[in-house]
Structure 1
Amino acid sequence: MATTTRRRPSGRIRPDEDAPLLPILARRVREVEAKAAKSGRVGPTNRTKFQVIALLVREERSRIKADEDISSATRTELLKRLDGVATILARTAAQDTSLLNVLKDDATPSPAAQRMRRDWLLDSGKALSADEMEIKAPQVPERETVPAQLAEKQVVPASVKARIRANPFLAPDLQQLRAESSPGYLSGWDLMDPLYRAFEQGSGGGVATMDLPPIPRFDRFSPPGMDLMPHQIRLLEAVRRGHRSFLLADEPGLGKTAQSVLAASVADTYPMLAVVPNVVKINWAREVQRWTPQRRVTVIHGDGDDMDAFADVFVVNYTVLDRHLSWLSTLGFRSMVVDEAHFIKNLSSQRSQHVLNLSRQIRAGAPGGKPLMMALTGTPLINDVEDFNAIWQFLGWTDGQQACTELMQALEATGLTPADRAFYPAARAAVIDLGIVRRTKSEVAKDLPAKRVADLPVELDDEIGRSIRAAEAEVGRRLAAQYRRLEAAQEVSYVPPGQLDVALLRKVALAELESSRNAKSGDNVFTMVRKIGQAKSALAADYTAQLVRSVGKVVFFAKHIDVMDTAEEMLAEAGLRTVSVRGDQSAKARQSAIDAFQSDPEVAVAVCSLTAAGVGLNLHAASNVVLAELSWTAAEQEQAIDRVHRIGQDDSVTAWRILAAHTIDTKIAELIDAKAGLAARALDGADVEVGTGDSVQLDALVHLMRSALEG
């Protein structure tokens, strides 16, 4: 016969009530409602309460309807009271929509939820069987690196096969075997919920940053001609001293990519795998070349046909990761970086499972089980502290159910348990010491320039991108043919053989520029730039949404209305409120939009026209600008940035310039910067190189013509 356990009813609950659980549910649902009303969101503890209340409401409703000993009048009254609890649940979920996830049919109660349900039932006086008393561990998710449904999708690039043939055996792990720790006094505790609660409560305050070593006397890390900022050097010094896992949560603009690239060099943990969003894939490769020029980097596109498997750093975006799992898991990586690590917070997604399974393989195969693991994100928490779960698993700090050996030892060294109030600040500190690093712009402002432009190359690898490159090539060929015709018609040439006639290049470009201004159809420099802007619009909007979650308000600039429209649609789909500043607005409507952006905390992005909003406006509520399309003048670009960089701005300003790689877009950016050099030399006395005095459009056409003639 199954054993039963009955707890003495507490409070004023009478065991002979027809529904003694109802007063408990009514009290608990009010607690959750109050939390949501106060902050608009609930933390993990109240999220668990919400789930348990919902489960018990369903169970009680079924029990009351089926209980023939309850009179009809009593049944109606009890169901009415249950409806009242359900109404409060619905009202609370409307305030914090993330609670809807715990109401799904496939939502499995965690051990903490099972324990809470058991305790409430016991408090109600209910007799529970041994099976009902048992707290069941959740089912461990499937951990095979390549799920069966993806087996046929796997590709092995030819260069990978060549690398395997060149080195068919991975180096054996000859370092000390990892010692299995004996169970300690906390081994029977469910520690995940207390760890989350430690961060939810703040537990004593203080910035969530581990103690980093002081800046060394000599800078051992900056490559020749480059200078790292002090906050970057301190992290790299921690790597040099042996620290190998980091949740690097610095704000955007503080050089997280550079720190992770150099960390692999300092730790000598090659080959390195970087899993990144598509929008920063090209920029990642450029940063590797910039900070570690002695290392080879390869970017994995599509099936990886053009990748270099003998590289030191492999950059792959989340979208194509699923077809490369088989060989990535066996190549022998000694370090792994996940950029924008909040992308993996949803543990039920395939993307998260792929990343976590790869990280387990890398930890298992690395010498000594100590690879360099880095999660980069300015927003490790988006909904609540349980967003830490996937990142902690990636870093090896937990397996989702229990703490790793190092963390468990640190917790047991406190001599405390989750029943002790002092456990929570100590637990928070223990997790932080594993490698959480968080610096804000305001903290390192003295080390940052007041205003800077950061280029973010993106790859247009779809049909639109191919058509843009084809159009550029056609314009270049047309210009080259005209140059050759005029060159052949000249009776006397003053240019040495083998060299191009600069004056003739300008003449052809000027004629093309003039005809382009009046053209109704066909490809020219203006139509190409517009197509590039349209092709970049979705990527620029996506990056803007990422920035908002990291730094708050952002100003988005574009030249064309359709680019602005696309951005506003995508940002709305991401749940972000925007205002628009356009040329066709009345002065009153424009000022209303500006005031909303400046004063309303719910307005996240100002989507602005470069021409309509580039001057005379104050948007200093933001310190980050996204330039989705390029201007034709350096002055117009600077004017746009200065809508944010102005009196009243307390933070350093970063303008993120989205550039289409392998197109004329990148050349236009170079030309704009060269024109800016003219002002710097003429007005500020700066010793900078100055380009030609021609317009950017003219120089861009000359560039296309030269490329065709010299190609």
Structure 2
Amino acid sequence: MIFVLLLFENTVLIMAAVLKFYGINNLTAKFSLISTERFQVELQGFDEDTVAIFKTIPSRNFSPQTRLWSFLIKDYDLLTYKLQQLRGKLKMELIPSFVLNCMKTQNHNVEIDFSKLDPVLFSTLLPFQIDGLQFGIDKNGRCLIGDDMGLGKTFQALALANYYMEDWPVLIVTTATMKTQWEETISTYLPSVSIMQVQYMITGKDYIGEAKILIVSHDMMSRCLEKIMDRNFGVIIIDESHILKSYKSKCYHSASKLAKKARRVILLSGTPALSRPSELYTQLSLLDSTFFGNFYKYSERYCDAKTTKFGWDHSGHSNLQELELILAKKFMIRRTKDQVLKSVPNKKQEVVTLNTKLNELPEEDRKCLNALGEQYMMKKGAGKHAALLTFFSETAKIKIPAICSYVLPLLDKKEKFLLFAHHQVLLNAVEDLVKRKNVKYIRIDGNTTTDQRKYFISKFQLDDSYVCAILSITAANAGITLTAAKLVLFAELHWNPSIISQAEARAHRIGQEDEVLVQYLLCPGTADDQIWPLLQEKQRTLNAVGLCRDSFESVAVKRHKSGEIKIADCLDSNDCGIKRYFSQEKKIKMDNDLFDDGLDELLSKSVLSGEHLANSNNGETENMLNDGLDDLLCDIDF
């Protein structure tokens, strides 16, 4: 170790001499937090005077592997003071004061007055849920409960709201499909509140003046903001708060106005950020609008934001360790199943590569399929998104025979399983197969009503004759429990790893008695080749900020032998021809069959058509697309 340090110091001296000889003094020291007790300095450049000052700090530590210096936080002021003498040649990017002040704040050992809680609700809480309640009280009722899916965030939110009953009435903002679950939970576990005082707002004409607990959808919150504001809600619970990730959305601006007026704000999300740190800012600002200053400062620090020819680009990430520390200290409590529920069985993940039998396709269609992949690789910006979405849509049709071949023997086993997919054409094909095999099943997609969902879930959970659950990954990834199944299949992927994790949690949650096997059915030569690496990269980012514990890096891979089902048996060739996506100019056009959740017509009328995207150089459009139109969907009530 001593030898390595000496070698490094000699290198520093040599490089410093070279830079000085050529008159180069572009020396930058980037400071960032790495733990609650230490910070690190990344020195970009070489300077013997800077290193000499580092050595005068008692808590110094140098890592030969990372070539970074670290120090105790108590020495921060001393180090920065000493480095001021080098300000002529050294540029320092310091740790913001709000970060340092946050770390200095002591967490209180809050004593919970359990007499404030409804006895029925209190008796239901598990020990880790009581810890969540204690965290929320320590944050004065303004916090983000980011526990893993299936760990009872609803119970913790109701307990926290119940604790601050003097600040009622309560506003619960949730998805339309979760409305029934909230009503049932309140009725069962909060009997001290009369069911007559719990109201679900259906239209803007509803009278809400006497509701102690008002439940609204995200869309209704935006459309009836003034009426809701007049009710003066002191406690607000926002379920699936990641829906508010876009600071441009009406939902966020409406929620922001309500949050500023309320004393207690409780956010719930098992996936606070779907793919990047910029998505966290809107939620954190609802809890404390002044902490980061503004989005510009936040994104510059944690999103590696910079000015480009298209505007302010905040799609990156930086200082993720520091951001994770701030989240845990100031805003969020997050636990995973393996941390708090030792009784929940393990989850095993596998990649299954299927044989798509592309050689059965006409030669012209094979060429077009290859061209779709090549266009995606060559395009940039918004055009790249359009190419991927078109390739993704066509992949659904190409995968049908392979998916059906894989599902066929599972139906004979009569063991319950979940199958997630995006496109109607793939969902319909699996449904037709199940019907032909005369197997009982349920299907939940965007056309399924709330009452139908409840009925289907009960049937699947309680009736052993129901074997298969055919599910839309966008319409059925949250708010339902299907623990009767121990096998989860993804016939199609989603470009956000958090959405996939949510879908997996339908089976892997409290109440599951067996190990859950999750299989991702991938087909070489299709859009899966592009989406899978994209998922891996996004998951690494979420892992770095502590918002994801899963990893696609070490998922086992196995090959599936080709079955008996052929393309000709599953598809009308007039319907699935790839060549229809290409005009004479070879321009990509969007397939209207992009989503299976009732949004097709809306999206087809949007200005975000495929041709527009393919030819657009607008950076704002690219940023709005983000991850497959997610930001657009923020303003739509599912």
TM value normalised by structure 2? 0.38
Higher relative contact order (CA 8 A, sep 6+): 2
Higher strand proportion (structure 1 or 2): 2
Q: Which has the larger radius of gyration?
A: 1
